[in-house]
């Protein structure tokens, strides 16, 4: 059995990865529709041995697709996801548009696969924020074993999370600055090359950014535990692909670093790289970029807290943080539900 799939935002950083991963994992596609704005209409994209011609989303008839992978921004999802769902196309939405609606499932397959069944409510499944996904994949086995009261996390997020223009901005600024030429920031409010910006998404009334609050709201919803306290600082760094996170947790019961390492070594979707020597830890560029697992290293007990544990968590934000997670949801959807 095959499924006709529409990729909305097919010319973007995540959309391209969605097509790549559908092909790589041999998802049982029938027709594949590459949709983007009118600006890209007629562009050609390779998919396995086919050539897809990009179509204008505004003119697409969603009766033709059974599954829609959306990654063209929140306002596009707000407008088109309900139209697609009404036409019988199940939407897997990578934007934040529907994530916090009570009747919309928010799914990380390694953590809460059964929530996919709630797609029936509105025909939409939300894909979480990239930083949240990799963190909950790493924390789920620890949560199940000893509970988690509180999470302190600082992120080091790659520019690909802001899309293609941001990838270009980092490349251009780097080249210009190394050649002694002046630069003018466009996508980000300050220079991103050779710099770190403690600001992702908009500022909210409580002084946190929306990216930070996404990690609070989404962690609770995915883990199904409103009592987990989460205190994030989200930072954009001059890395192209791969988010890193310094995660500090306080568990309900004490867990040793050795026990945590053993749990993580057999956890689905996780790869432990934790030798206490130079290079014995994962990084965005050398391990995560272009690969599927969530890498965990620097596992150690917190010397400042009796039930504290520290971890370094790294993953490809475009793959596990977005496109891969969406395709994994689609795989479960067709296996169990449609
Ligand atoms: P387009 O390339 O035609 O602008 P990124 O996150 O890398 O910036 O990519 C955003 C994706 O969302 C692109 O595929 C882009 O298509 C798509 N997109 C942006 N605006 C619209 C729109 N109004 N209608 C359909 N797709 C859109």
What is the band of 179 on the pLDDT scale with cuts at 50, 70, 90?
A: very high
Q: Please give the pLDDT value at position 58.
A: 98
Half-sphere exposure of 4 (CA within 13 A, CB side): 11
What is the mean pLDDT of the segment spanning 180-193?
A: 98
Q: Are 33 and 5 in contact (CB under 8 A)?
A: yes
**36 ligand 1 Cβ < 6 A:** yes
Best of 7, 12, 71, 163 for a ligand 1 pocket test (most atoms within 8 Å of beta carbon): 12
Residue-wise pLDDT tens digits, 278-290: 999 999 999 999 9
For ligand 1, atom 18: residue with the closest CA: 72
Q: Which residues 6+ apart lie within 8 Å of 264 measured at CB?
A: 138, 141, 142, 270, 272, 296, 299
Share of the chain above pLDDT 70, in %: 100
What is the mean pLDDT of the segment spanning 209-228?
A: 98
How far apart are the CA of 332 and the centre of ligand 1, in A?
A: 27
Ordered domains of the chain (ranges, CATH): 3-128+322-336 (3.40.50.720), 131-317 (3.30.360.10)
Q: Please give the pLDDT value at position 336.
A: 96
Residue-wise pLDDT tens digits, 78-102: 999 999 999 999 999 999 999 999 9
Q: Please give the pLDDT value at position 34.
A: 98
User: Which residue in the list 130, 196, 199, 337 is annotated as catalytic?
Assistant: 130
Tell me whether residue 130 is one of the annotated catalytic residues: yes
Burial class (CB in 10 A: 0-12, 13-18, 19+), 194: exposed
Question: What number does the ligand 1 atom closest to the CA of 9 have?
Answer: 14
Q: Please give the pLDDT value at position 238.
A: 98
Tell me whether residue 89 is one of the annotated catalytic residues: no
What is the mean pLDDT of the segment spanning 35-61?
A: 98
Q: Please give the pLDDT value at position 189.
A: 98
- When the pLDDT of each residue in the chain is averaged and rounded to a whole number, the result is 98
**pTM of full prediction above 0.90:** yes
What is the mean pLDDT of the segment spanning 303-307?
A: 98
Q: What is the DSSP string of 234-294?
A: EEE-S-SS-EEEEEEEEESS---HHHHHHHHHTSTTEEE---SSTT-S--IIIIITT--SE
User: Buried b / exposed e across 318-338, counting CB within 10 Å, b at 16+?
Assistant: bbbbbbbbbbbbbebbbeeee
Residue-wise pLDDT tens digits, 97-112: 999 999 999 999 999 9
Q: Please give the pLDDT value at position 164.
A: 97
How far apart are the CA of 3 and the centre of ligand 1, in A?
A: 24
ipTM: 0.98
Q: What is the DSSP letter of 2?
A: -
């Amino acid at each position: 059995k095959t499924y006709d799939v529409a990729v909305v935002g097919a010319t973007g950083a995540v959309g391209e990865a969605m097509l790549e991963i559908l092909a790589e994992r041999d998802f049982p596609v029938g027709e594949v529709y590459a949709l983007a704005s009118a600006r890209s209409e007629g562009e050609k994209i390779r998919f396995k041995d086919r050539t897809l011609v990009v179509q204008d989303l505004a003119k697409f008839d969603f009766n033709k697709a059974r599954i829609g992978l959306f990654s063209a921004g929140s306002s596009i999802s707000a407008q088109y996801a309900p139209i697609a769902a009404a036409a019988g196309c199940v939407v897997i939405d990578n934007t934040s548009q529907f994530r916090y609606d009570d009747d919309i499932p928010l799914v990380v397959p390694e953590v809460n696969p059964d929530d996919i069944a709630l797609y029936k409510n509105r025909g939409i499944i939300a894909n979480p924020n990239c930083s949240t996904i990799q963190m909950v994949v790493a924390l789920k086995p620890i949560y199940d074993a000893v509970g988690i009261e509180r999470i302190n996390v600082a992120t080091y997020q790659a520019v690909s999370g802001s899309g293609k223009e941001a990838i270009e901005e980092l490349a251009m600024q780097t080249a210009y600055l190394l050649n002694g030429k002046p630069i003018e920031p466009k996508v980000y409010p300050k220079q991103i090359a050779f710099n770190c910006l403690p600001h992702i998404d908009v500022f909210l009334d409580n002084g946190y950014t929306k990216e930070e609050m996404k990690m609070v709201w989404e962690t609770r919803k995915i883990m199904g535990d409103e009592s987990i306290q989460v205190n994030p600082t989200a930072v954009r760094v001059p890395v192209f692909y791969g988010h890193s996170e310094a995660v500090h947790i306080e568990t309900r019961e004490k867990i040793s670093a050795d026990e945590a390492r053993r749990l993580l070594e057999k956890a689905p979707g996780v790869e432990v790289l934790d030798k206490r020597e130079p290079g014995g830890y994962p990084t965005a560029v050398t391990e995560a970029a272009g690969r599927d697992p969530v890498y965990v290293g620097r596992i150690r007990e917190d010397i400042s807290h009796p039930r504290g544990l520290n971890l370094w968590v790294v993953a490809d934000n475009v793959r596990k943080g977005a496109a891969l997670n969406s395709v994994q949801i689609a795989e479960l959807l067709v296996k169990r539900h449609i």
